[in-house]
Chains A and B, each alone.
Chain A
Amino acid sequence: MVLAERNALRTDLGAVRAVDTICAYCGVGCGVKLHIDDRDRIVWVDDQPANPSSQGMLCVKGRFGLTFVNHEDRLTKPLIRRPSAGGGTVLEEATWDEALDYVAEKFIEHRDSFAVLASAKATNEDGYVLQKMTRLLMGTNNIDHCTRLCHSPSVEAMLRQLGSGATSNSYEDYDNAGCLMVVGTDTSSNHPVIASRLRRAIDERGTKLIVVNPKRIDLCDYATYFLQPNPGTDVALFNGLAKVIIDEGLLDERFVRERTRGFEEWAASLADYTPERVQEITGVPAEDVRGAARVYARPPVPRGLEGIFAEAAAAKGYGGSCLIWGMGVTQHTCGTDNAHALLNLALVAGQIGRPGNGVSPLRGQNNVQGCGDAGCIPDNLPGYQGLGDANRAKFEKAWGAPLPSEPGLRATEMFELAARGRLDCMYITGENPLLSEPYIAHAEEAIKKLKFLVVQDIFPNETAEYADVILPATSFAEKDGTFTNSERRVQRVRKAIEPLGDSRPDWEITADLARRIARRLEMPVAQFNYEHPSQIFAEMASLTPILGGISYARLEALQEEGIQWPCPDADHPGTKRLYTETFNVGPRAPFVPVEQGPPAAELPSRRFPLLLNTGRVLYHWHGGTITRRARTLLARSPELQIAINPQDAARYGVKDGEDVVLYSKRGDLSGKALVTDAVRPGDVFVPFVKLQEHNANFLTNAVYDPKSRIPEYKVCAVRIERAGAPQVWRRGRRESVGPGRG
């Protein structure tokens, strides 16, 4: 029976072959089988039951959204901006030689004022070559990627308290936990396959779910506790949960004694966070604060535990708790404090480092973990090796030239400097800051001031409109490489189709460019003579202890299994969970006292009475550059929906499905009203995808968390009006609005 066989080749859809690879959307890292027709088009995407991260699950984006690969908008020729006959400029097609020689010369010209945005959608190998070029040839650590805009507060806080910014556990710990606390993430939209695993644990194991979110998300249907705090009050809430755990004696005394430090001082700092006071600040009922704290600290033993999970639960007498969070925690001016408050909670309850528990900042992009691992961050060499003398010496010896020791610019700092005319040249790969930066009008000013901009991407985008040179890269389906997912699993990405037009894989473009730069600077050209990504990975592994035991040969032998780092040597099986014995900061993790401050930099006013919260919808990916080019996804979600509570809808005269306009001090956007009690009175929610030329970041506030430099995407003040209604307020004058405090 042909179709009764699982994963049969879909010849009925025209497929002639199928290739196993990894989905290019979120950080879950699902295995996919691309079914390809005789014209090299993806005609069907199947799940991959052998992949341990996805176990045969797949979401709508992975299943129906990967067809963007073949979209007619793909960039297929290098483009150079030249003066046009009419007096302006025009992008003209060029050969690779012309384009890369030109870029090489310009990069050298601007070598002292140069910065790079790496792509968390590209492979580890792409990232490694890019940071190598930046450090070795351009002599700067000015390289960063989108983690600055998503989990930099988590990384900041985790580095201080634990010593690594990575997820401590594996997905299998969610399957075997007694309690899942999901904070500031609409998991069903952003990481749908993780949401499936959470629902499975709840359905099959009786696992308890605590949802913390100002917006009611789909997972709330499964929740034991749904805590709906006022935006920006997470520190108070988590301090309050921790205080209940201490006061009721639910802390893990042995863990606190043997594996933490600074408990007394931290515990004293919680004195004011009684459940009643927390209720005043956050709006979460005191009884729910108590109840959630009890479940988190002492979850029931889930049904049907086996092996190490059963042993771990038996040793404690209660189940494990996994703490899972997303941008709702981080994208605040107090983002790093929020993350500290979460980590303190995990430490006091001892819910870290054992089977069935852990702390998980869910990684957004498919390879945001790997992009950082590969060294595309301004303050670390590959593998989170600091810029100190010994580490630099190791890399200098391997690469044959001195490396810069000063930490480089972080992504948000790059745009601030550019806006002030103090950064001349950028190499932006697989990133679109003119959709993803807060307060886009401001970011646009910054980009315009650059003297030379190179954009390397698969589609023309908003940022590319200001590019001097556009280099056409290939998509994930056209190259070999590796992605590293949210559970630190290094997985093999396999080439399924030939590159479209003249496009080339990112690593190949960067290496070719680097050779041209090196030749001109009389630097070691041979450092960039790569013929296959496997060579790049081998070099990276040889210099990066956490990846030291991983090779393409091993990954191929393991098929769809992948290997979870740290994997220091070739006999090491990989690491399912971190911190089982010690922390990367030492044997004891410090508690970090944090105080609730003002909830946000901008709060509602008479003119802008509502709070805007941004996030995502299931059917789109980030700014939508990709998902708008997947027909099924766009058809499923063609316009921006502005979610508003029925009370506010009545107050402002807005009906469900009506065209409305949102205004902030910085701009406006149009969309359709979605009247729903999923958002609290006083809040509105807009996904940050750009649809019909409207995007939430027209409105968001370019103010930053001082510790991590993440923008406050999650809170700003707005006003809603029916489209076409007479203007109640005149728009604020632009010049009165600064880029925000630092």
Chain B
Amino acid sequence: MPTLTIDGREVSVPEGATVLEAVRAAGIDIPHLCKDDDQAPIGACRTCLVLVEGQRGLPASCYLPAADGMRVSTHGDALDRVRATVLDLTLAMLDPGGRGASLLATEAARFGASGPFAPAPNAAFDDSTPAFTLNHADCILCQRCVEGCQDVQHIGAIAVLGGGEAARIGTFLDRPLLQSICTSCGTCVSVCPTGALYPRVAGSLAT
């Protein structure tokens, strides 16, 4: 069992654990927007950055294997600044008046982020299925929904389409969800950290 030092605290984790797991085992709260507790890391959100003594740069702790004797910091001038910037960039993807912003802004502020900033231009909204809606204005492209659809359910109805600023979650040929192979199992809804995928109230309540 590797033993690490996290912010001066010693913590032991099982063989094969990641640094993020060690950080959380030490009771330290850092953002990890795209990491699902039960799934493999995606490494998309870059909010779980840490500083490791003797290593260059600021690795994403979700992807970093925990090694014996590792000395990890979750705070520091440069680290806090970079993380706040990453969170600011993340918040900048969100509609300031939307569900995602309201869910993330307060938490992000704890880590020095000051967004949200500009409204997202013309983000699409998919309400084709009766089970849930997909509001791209609340999406941070963390890809947990894609992982849930493929790695949990092995359906693979959604993926990240396009690149750069045009990147978005969508189906094959970018059709509405109802016209795709999506079965409305709702795994994507349960893992979405920003409420971009959200149950329809009329559907989630019986009366």
Contact = CB atoms under 8 A, between A and B. Distances in A.
A12 B201 CA distance: 11
A636 to B, nearest CB: 5
A187 to B, nearest CB: 12
A196 B153 contact: yes
B206 A63 contact: no
A57 interface: yes
Interface size bracket, B side: 35 or more
A64 B31 contact: no
B143 interface: no
B187 A1 contact: no
B123 interface: no
A200 interface: yes
Contacts of A6: 36-38, 191
Given A12-B103, A49-B38, A636-B131, A4 B206 contact: no
A46 interface: yes
Interface stretch (A67-75, A603-611, A664-672): A67-75
A64 to B, nearest CB: 5
Contacts of A56: 38, 152
B190 A67 contact: no
Given A4-B33, A5-B37, A67-B204, A58 B185 contact: yes
B32 interface: yes
A2 B190 contact: no
Contact of A67 (B29, B104, B185, B205): B205
Which of B185, B194, B207 has the most C-beta atoms of chain A within 10 angstroms of its own C-beta? B185
A1 B33 CA distance: 7
A632 B184 contact: yes
A740 B153 CA distance: 43
Contacts of B38: 6, 49, 56
Nearest to B30: A1
Given A71-B206, A200-B154, A60 B199 contact: no
A13 B131 contact: no
A563 to B, nearest CB: 23
B107 A2 contact: yes
Contacts of B192: 3
Which of B29, B31, B193 has the most C-beta atoms of chain A within 10 angstroms of its own C-beta? B193
B136 interface: no
Contacts of A192: 183, 185
16 contacts: A5-B37, A42-B206, A57-B152, A58-B185, A60-B131, A60-B183, A67-B206, A70-B206, A196-B153, A196-B154, A631-B202, A631-B203, A631-B206, A635-B203, A636-B129, A636-B131
Given A42-B206, A59-B185, A632-B204, 13 more contacts: A1-B31, A3-B194, A4-B32, A6-B191, A43-B204, A56-B38, A58-B186, A63-B189, A72-B206, A203-B154, A631-B130, A632-B130, A636-B129
Interface of B: 29, 31-33, 35-38, 103-104, 107, 129-131, 152-155, 183-187, 189-195, 199-207
Interface of A: 1-7, 12-13, 41-44, 46-47, 49, 56-60, 63-64, 67-72, 188, 192, 196, 199-200, 203, 618, 629-632, 635-636
